[in-house]
């Protein structure tokens, strides 16, 4: 009985986490659509992916310094099925910062947090 109760708690927590991610994804998509004309020629999906990784970090990391670093974002997206080049991802991060969607919290190693959630 205790095991079942614990499993139900885990399922509830996972369900709530999924809902948070889904809501974050909606906000991100809406923000990118609203700012599309201000973004460079890079695909909207790159901006969405950068913001989604930062959203996951914000939602599921208890300490700021344990959050995802820019280099991790660059590596993750370079290895993704879209194979985003490092230079484009760096440029996208800089653009998102300039537009206020993210802010820098550390310069070494470089780290940003999402501000639109």
Four-way CATH pick for 2-114: 3.40.50.970, 3.40.50.12780, 3.40.190.10, 1.10.10.10: 1.10.10.10
User: What are phi and psi for residue 97, nearest 5 degrees?
Assistant: -65, -45
> For residues 79 and 14, is the Cβ–Cβ distance under 8 A?
no
Question: Is the model's pLDDT at 83 over the cut of 90?
Answer: yes
Partners of residue 54 on adjacent β-strands = none
> For residues 36 and 77, is the Cβ–Cβ distance under 8 A?
no
Centroid of chain to Cα 117 = 10
pLDDT bracket for residue 105 (50, 70, 90): very high
Question: Could you state, in order of their start, the residue ranges of all structural domains in the chain?
Answer: 2-114
pLDDT of residue 24: 98
d(CA 102, CA 48) in angstroms, rounded, equals: 12
Question: Is the model's pLDDT at 3 over the cut of 90?
Answer: no
Task: Record the tokens describing residue 39, joined without a space.
Answer: 């973004």
Q: What is the pLDDT of residues 4-42, one digit of tens each?
A: 899 999 999 999 999 999 999 999 999 999 999 999 868
pLDDT of residue 9: 94
Q: What is the pLDDT of residues 53-68, one digit of tens each?
A: 999 999 999 999 999 9
Average pLDDT over the chain, rounded to whole? 96
């Amino acid at each position: 009985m205790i095991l079942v109760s614990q499993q139900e708690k885990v399922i509830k927590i996972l369900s709530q986490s999924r809902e948070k991610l889904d809501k974050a994804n909606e906000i991100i998509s809406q923000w990118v659509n609203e700012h599309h004309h201000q973004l460079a020629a890079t695909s909207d999906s790159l901006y969405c992916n950068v913001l989604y990784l930062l959203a996951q970090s914000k939602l599921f990391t208890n300490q700021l310094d344990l959050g995802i670093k820019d280099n991790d974002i660059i590596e993750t997206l370079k290895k993704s099925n879209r194979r985003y080049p490092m230079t484009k991802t760096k440029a996208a991060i800089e653009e998102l910062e300039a537009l206020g969607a993210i802010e820098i919290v550390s310069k070494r190693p470089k780290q940003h947090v999402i501000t639109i959630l």
